Amino acid sequence: MHDLIIIGAGPAGITASVYAARKAMDFLVLTGDIGGQTAWSGDIENYTGYQFITGPDLVGKFEEHMLSYNTSVKEGEEVIAVDRAGEVISVKTHKSSYQAKAVIVASGKRSKELNVPGEKEFKNKGISYCATCDGPLFNAKNVAIIGGGNSALDAALQLVKIARYTYIINNTPQLGGEALMRQKIEQARNVEILNNAAVTAVLGGKMVNAVKINHNGEEKILFVEGVFVEIGLIPNSDFVKGVEKNSRGEIKVNSRNETNIPGLFAAGDVTDVPEKQIIIAAGEGSKACLSAFRYAAQH
């Protein structure tokens, strides 16, 4: 029986673990990976204390801080169920099961898929959901980025330095995201922005060699060797039964990060907190841990 189990090791989960360690709690971190979406980020210029840092470098700093407390982390152990019986919350993974007085769900989000012909066939054969991870594989090649928000712009800013030519396929009349990021993209000479456009199929042989799009009502073929899908994210909340969620599947929390289930807390992008930023997730992780500490002390 642990005082606390933290599910996820992105900014929210890692920050929660640091606070739990400083409170001398008996706790465990269960996670599929370390870093979460931060590890996918390219250049980060708005995290306080760092005028510039890459996503992987920031994750390295987070992990170093977490492990400096000899934190017990079970990486690669994804949670498949969370249930509360009496005063005990059980957390089940595909390997084992654990019990705790309190649990923080900080499992973040995962990429949405296009759900068009060719997507499943060409996953890892030219289709990627992480420009930071796979961008270098497309050096001097033509690529397409699907999406028009911050994640798509971040991918474009990385690929503009690597790819020969980059198409941004955006299904709205104009790009969204931060103004400074848009400005940098619009000034790049090897980027073409296609607004009011949607991918209808991914084409290829052994690997991707083109995408079929509908652009302003006209069908076009773009010859590309890489496709980066950046159309949004889905919260990793399916494994939590009985917890109240909004229409997007995000876990509802109050200002203390409490859910409708006693002893169950949530933090970061998996929740309905309106803004999804690294620094906000980290702050929410600290709040969730302080709330969980008070709950565990009372039970």
Mind giving me the DSSP string for 264-294?
EEE-GGGB--S---HHHHHHHHHHHHHHHHH
- Domain endpoint, select from 208, 229, 250: 229
Could you confirm whether 133 is annotated as catalytic? yes
Structure tokens, 123:
């996953």
Instruction: Examine residue 43 and state whether it is found in any structural domain, yes or no.
Output: yes
Same domain, 198 and 68: no
- Residue of 3, 134, 154, 269 marked catalytic: 134
Q: What is the mean pLDDT of residues 47-64?
A: 93
pLDDT at 42: 74
Domain assignment present for residue 27? The answer is: yes
Active site includes 33?
Answer: no
pLDDT band at 278 (very low <50, low <70, confident <90, very high): very high
Q: Tell me, yes or no, if the pTM score tops 0.95.
A: no
Q: From CA 17, how far away is CA 14, in angstroms rounded?
A: 5
Residues above pLDDT 70, as percent of the chain: 100
Question: CA-to-CA distance for 126 and 158, rounded, in angstroms?
Answer: 17
State whether 131 and 155 are in the same domain.
Answer: yes
Write down the pLDDT at residue 240. 94
Indicate whether 24 and 167 sit together in one domain.
no
Name, in order, each residue with C-beta under 8 angstroms of 295's C-beta and a sequence gap of 6 or more.
101, 102, 262, 263, 265
Residue 285: which of 2, 4, 45, 6 has the closest Cα?
Answer: 6
Residues 60 and 131 reside in one and the same domain? no
pLDDT digits (tens, 9 = 90+) for 102-136: 999 999 999 899 999 999 999 989 999 888 888 99
**Alpha-carbon separation of residue 124 from 17, 21, 144, 154, 226 (angstroms):** 33, 38, 15, 20, 10
- Residue 89: inside a domain: yes
Report d(CA 82, CA 243) in Å as an integer: 10
| Residue-level pLDDT at 20 | 98
Question: The domain that contains 211 carries what CATH number?
Answer: 3.50.50.60
pLDDT at 39: 84
DSSP letter for 171, please: S
Domain assignment of residue 46, given as a range: 2-111+233-298
What's the CA gap between 175 and 185, in Å, rounded?
10
Q: pLDDT at position 296, please?
A: 95
pLDDT in tens, 163-205: 999 999 999 999 999 999 999 999 999 999 999 999 999 999 9
Boundary of a domain, candidates 179, 207, 229: 229
- Judged against a pLDDT cut of 90, whether residue 34 lies above it is answered with yes
273 Cα distance to chain centroid: 14
- Which alpha helices (H) appear in the chain, and where do they start and end? 11-22, 55-67, 131-134, 150-159, 179-187, 278-298
Residue 218 shares a structural domain with residue 135: yes
Q: Which H helix or E strand runs over 90?
A: strand 88-93
- Residue 45, pLDDT > 90, answer no
Domain boundary among 229, 255, 275: 229
Residue 118 lies in a domain: no
Whether residues 173 and 98 fall in one domain: no
Residue 116 inside a domain? The answer is no
Please compute the mean of the pLDDT values over residues 68-83 and round it to a whole number: 95
Please state the rounded mean pLDDT for residues 91-111: 95
In the three-class reduction of DSSP (H, G, I as helix; E, B as strand; rest coil), residue 38 is classed as helix
- Could you tell me the pLDDT band of residue 46, with boundaries at 50, 70 and 90? confident
Asked if residue 238 and residue 210 are part of one domain, the reply reads: no
The per-residue pLDDT for 124 is: 85
Catalytic residue among 33, 83, 130, 272: 130
**Count of the separate structural domains present in the chain:** 2
pLDDT at 64: 96
Q: Is residue 157 part of a domain?
A: yes
- Let me know whether 188 and 168 are in one domain: yes
Shared domain check, 225 and 243 = no
**Pair 216, 165 in one domain:** yes
Is residue 94 one of the residues assigned to a domain? yes
Judge whether 299 and 262 are in contact, CB under 8 Å: no
Banded pLDDT at 86 (limits 50, 70, 90): confident
Average pLDDT, the chain: 94
Give the single-character DSSP code of 240.
B
Q: Same structural domain for residues 136 and 272?
A: no
In a domain, 120, yes or no: no
Domain co-membership, 222 together with 179? yes
